[in-house]
Structure 1
Amino acid sequence: MEDKKYKAVCFGEVLWDIFPGEQRRIGGAPFNVAYHLFKMGLNVEMISSVGDDELGHGILQKIKDWQISTDQIQITKEHPTSTVIAMVDENNDAHYDIVENVAWDFIETTQENKKVLDTADALVFGTLAARNEKSRNTLFEMLEISSYNVFDINLREPYYEIRMINELLHKTQLAKFNKAELRMMLDFLNKEYKDEKDSIRYLQDKFGIKEIIVSKGSKGALYAYEDNFYLYPTIPVEVKDTVGSGDSFLAGFLSKRLQKEASAHEIMAQAVSLGAFITSQEGACPEYTLKEFLQFKESHPLSALSF
């Protein structure tokens, strides 16, 4: 594995996704990102919380088995480990019933996670972990310490409010939307949708964000850095399921983006390739090696599309 030169911290939910047939898999968007960042060769810390129960200890053991640090995952007797009932529809898209008042709704601020953030190259977070006041306050403290905040918007009704999203975007250096979330954000702000470039520039100006990613499903992915726009196609694969595909895309993106010398092409090729590679496998965190991913990437060369 490559030298773990860069460090990322992921904040928020770690949980058990319960699929039909009682199949149980570790999930939570921030953890999925952490898993793939680790696979890409980065140092990773996950700031979260699990219950002092069988499910919580099972999560910790599984993460340790993957050799990912659990040092910043808190254990609480006050709240249970999170479980999510996941259903997969005929299009292989997942839908979730997310239980509230679970351990990661009550993440504490600690001196240890502040120290971790002091030396981190990025802090990755989403909307869901800010649904409860306790974890939301902790997140805002973390955002003040981190110098590169990566916001995966990931809107899940009814667990968000526009005022809170606005506040988070003002603290963000890189924001990731999907097509629907981009349109929803403009609606929230009473901004007429003209086209993607106009929408992105509006959000960049309003929130002072230089970098925005828009995932466009079968139409590829768009990366905006200041006034520069880079559109890349998807890689056609046989889809096993789409669970965690956006998380793996973001991890691939950051694994190159944090290398200051990496070009936009290298960043987007890594992101699109990892997203496709994971979509061709079952689950958000399938077992694989960096070598296997790089072989897949080399066999699927990419070129930018005109935009």
Structure 2
Amino acid sequence: FPEELLRLVDIFTPNEIETASLVGFNIDSWDKASEAAHIFLQKGVKQSIIKLGNRGAFLANQKFEQIYPSVPVEAIDTIGAGDAFNGALAVALNEGKTINEAVQWGNAAGAFAATKKGTQTAMPSRSELMVMLG
């Protein structure tokens, strides 16, 4: 896609397959996630969060980078887990949470969604999300 659009992106949340297609290499380690995230930052993205499924998520911005291990669950259906992640991330940020807290919310929501069959029915309620967060 047009690289000039990346300069307009505040928070970029590709999954590992999307990331690999954009950067041209597989995201098979945290080092590769870091390398890819920094490519996005160099292109103007303000915060890059690479969703890595059952490995968790990786955040990088101009100030720091952080690994967020996944919430351990027995996955049944991962379709919609990325959408759950992004939805919870957006809610947390809208409520004034830090980016660190928001990624944790995203991880928990994605993990919850993976434990259910389907997409809409797999999205966690706030109370279910709070249980996942501990």
**Aligned counterparts of 2:61 and 2:120: Cα–Cα separation in 1:** 29
Q: Does 1:249 align with 2:85?
A: yes
The TM-score normalised by the length of structure 2 is 0.80
Aligned to 2:68: 232
- 3-state secondary structure, aligned to 2:58: strand
**Aligned counterparts of 1:246 and 1:238: Cα–Cα separation in 2:** 16
- 3-state secondary structure, aligned to 2:71: coil
- Call closer, same or farther: CA 1:200–1:290 in 2, change over 3 Å: closer
The alpha-carbon deviation at position 293 of structure 1 amounts to 2.7
- 8 Å contact 2:49–2:57 — kept in the other structure? yes
Aligned to 1:185: 22
Aligned to 1:64: none
**Aligned counterparts of 1:186 and 1:290: Cα–Cα separation in 2:** 35
- 3-state secondary structure, aligned to 1:241: coil
* Amino acid corresponding to residue 49 of structure 2 in structure 1: I
- 8 Å contact 2:9–2:46 — kept in the other structure? no
Q: Given the alignment, which residue of 257, 276, 280 partners 2:115?
A: 280
Task: Give unpaired runs (5+ residues) of structure 2.
Answer: 25-30
The alpha-carbon deviation at position 297 of structure 1 amounts to 2.5
- 3-state secondary structure, aligned to 1:168: helix
Aligned to 2:27: none
Q: Which has the higher strand share?
A: 1
**Aligned counterparts of 2:56 and 2:129: Cα–Cα separation in 1:** 19
**Aligned counterparts of 2:76 and 2:50: Cα–Cα separation in 1:** 23
- 8 Å contact 2:79–2:119 — kept in the other structure? yes
The alpha-carbon deviation at position 250 of structure 1 amounts to 0.9
The alpha-carbon deviation at position 178 of structure 1 amounts to 1.5
* Higher relative contact order, structure no. (Cα contacts within 8 Å, ≥ 6 residues apart): 2
The alpha-carbon deviation at position 275 of structure 1 amounts to 0.7
The TM-score normalised by the length of structure 1 is 0.38
The alpha-carbon deviation at position 290 of structure 1 amounts to 2.0
- 3-state secondary structure, aligned to 1:283: coil
- Call closer, same or farther: CA 1:225–1:290 in 2, change over 3 Å: same
The alpha-carbon deviation at position 203 of structure 1 amounts to 1.9
The range that moved more, 282-291 or 238-247, is: 282-291
Runs of 4+ in 1 over 4 A off after TM superposition: none
| Coordinate RMSD, CA, aligned | 2.3
**Aligned counterparts of 1:256 and 1:225: Cα–Cα separation in 2:** 18
Q: Does 1:203 align with 2:1?
A: no
- 3-state secondary structure, aligned to 1:177: coil
**Aligned counterparts of 1:197 and 1:231: Cα–Cα separation in 2:** 9
Task: Give unpaired runs (5+ residues) of structure 1.
Answer: 1-161, 188-193, 299-307
- Call closer, same or farther: CA 1:293–1:168 in 2, change over 3 Å: same
The alpha-carbon deviation at position 167 of structure 1 amounts to 4.2
Q: How many residues align?
A: 128
- 8 Å contact 1:230–1:264 — kept in the other structure? no
**Aligned counterparts of 2:98 and 2:82: Cα–Cα separation in 1:** 21
* Amino acid corresponding to residue 20 of structure 2 in structure 1: R
**Aligned counterparts of 2:74 and 2:56: Cα–Cα separation in 1:** 16
**1:190-248 alpha-carbon deviations (Å, 9 max, x no partner):** xxxx8332332222122x21111101122210112223112111122122211100000
Aligned to 2:104: 269
- Call closer, same or farther: CA 1:259–1:293 in 2, change over 3 Å: closer
